[in-house]
């Protein structure tokens, strides 16, 4: 359940960054790079918290982390490929 919530948060963050960022005049390329860096940092922090507080093994956190990071980034790639305005 936690993984679903975090992925949903990533998708909402992506939508907000693209919507608000374009309204403020940032280019899509700048927003794309900013989201990927921010989401990678948040994914690593989430994995570290899972290892420290919940005692999850590194391999488990890496597998879940790839999914948590990958789904919003895949949505970003799809958005950029389809060039939805």
The pLDDT value recorded for residue 67 is 96
Reference 78, options 4, 20, 11; nearest CA is 11
Contact between residue 17 and residue 82 where contact means Cβ atoms under 8 Å apart = no
Instruction: Give pLDDT tens digits for 41-76.
Output: 999 999 999 999 988 999 999 999 999 999 999 999
Instruction: Give pLDDT tens digits for 6-37.
Output: 999 999 999 999 999 999 999 999 999 999 99
Domain residue spans of the chain? 2-82
């Amino acid at each position: 359940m936690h993984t679903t919530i975090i992925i949903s948060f990533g998708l909402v963050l992506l939508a907000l960054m693209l919507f608000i960022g374009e309204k403020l005049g940032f280019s899509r390329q700048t927003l794309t790079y900013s989201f990927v860096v921010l989401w990678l940092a948040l994914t690593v922090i989430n994995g570290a918290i899972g290892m420290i507080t919940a005692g999850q093994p590194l391999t488990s956190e890496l597998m879940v982390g790839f999914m948590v990071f990958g789904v919003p980034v895949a949505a970003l790639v799809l958005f950029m490929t389809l060039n939805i305005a």
